Amino acid sequence: MNIDMKSDARKVYRSGKSSYIITLPKDWVEEFGIKEGDTVFLEIRENSICIKPKVEEKSLKAIIDDAEAKFDHLVRLVISYYLAGYSSIVVRVYTDEQRRAVAFAVDLLVGAEIMEDTGDKLLIEIFLDVERFEIDSILEKLFNITFSMLKDLRAVVANLDRATCSTILTREDEVDKLHFLVLRLLNYSGDRGIISAVDAMNYRSVVRTLERISDHISQMSEATLNLERGYGELGEMIEALEGMFRRAMVCFFKSDRKIAEEVLEDVEEFANRILKYYEKIAEMGDVVQLMNLKTILDSISRVAGYSADIAEVVINRSVY
């Protein structure tokens, strides 16, 4: 039976002080095998609500068999199947490099475990109940970790606190894990109509931006290890960067266009401050110090630009 285009009127009933109830069409309930106590999903739009049945998860199994696959290629393959929602991945391994690649990929993926190793084959199982996770909650954790990295970087650059560098690099691994988890959740939610295509696109843009920001923070941390002294002025610039980054994420979570526009203005002014510092360090005689400072400045500029990108997502989303 195909009832996709059928229009059906239903009465709304009051239940208690704050709840409302509608009945579901019997034919629709029977077609999708919905029983008492089952969950249905509501896609809340501006002027309507779309009710969708719970889709039973199918066990998706992938097989990777590529004798020529290099380390990075095999890592990308495993991650791609994870993002696509596969629950089992069998990898035929021909070299120690391929075995290391599989182990490396599994370490990056929340819920992934190597459950069987027969020498020439590795079985990866994904133990992940996606319905337990909320995208906004994971995204907030992703931001908090990235923001803590940026905040600690300020002390690293200003005071040459080399001991903190290792903790920053460790947290980048956690960002990578949450980044892949959110992308898997978005694919799951998008396929089932739980989230609209536009919202999924916006979330993907922001989560990838956060991952890139963490990469640049790590690059700045590594460059700092090669400096001979701390740079207080750079620390002050990073402090200003913290404010723009934090407000960019606040405006995303709150869908606040006003804050988004303020962030764009601040980033534009900040670009002039960066340019002046470029001119200042250009006079340095030590080429090694100059190159490391330039690396840090380049990344500061990129993080500011990524903060502006998040703000632009909010502005673009406000017109839908």
* Tokens linked to 185: 């959740």
Domain spans of the chain? 13-53, 61-130, 132-317
Give the separation between CA 81 and CA 106, rounded to whole angstroms: 12
132-317: CATH number: 1.20.58.220
CA distance 294 to 60: 47
Give the pLDDT score at 4.
41
Residue type, 47: N
CB 204 within 8 A of CB 196: no
Q: Which ranges of the chain have pLDDT less than 70?
A: 1-7, 16-18, 30-32, 43-47, 54-59, 320
pLDDT score for 19: 75
Which amino acid is it at 202?
N
Sign, Cα dihedral of 108, 111, 112, 116? positive
Give residue 32's pLDDT.
Answer: 66
Question: What is the CATH T-level fold of the domain 61-130, as seen in this structure?
Answer: Translation Initiation Factor IF3 (3.30.110)
What's the pLDDT at 56?
A: 52
Specify the pLDDT at position 11. Answer: 82
Residue that is written with structure tokens 């009710």 in the block: 51
Distance CA 188, CA 123 (A): 22
Max intra-chain CA distance, the chain: 80
pLDDT of residue 9: 79
pLDDT at position 272, please? 94
pLDDT at residue 196, rounded to an integer: 84
Exposure letters 94-111 (e unless 16+ CB within 10 A, then b)? eeeebbebbeebbebbbb
For the full predicted model, state whether its pTM sits above 0.95.
no
What pLDDT score was predicted for residue 44? Answer: 67
pLDDT at residue number 286: 84
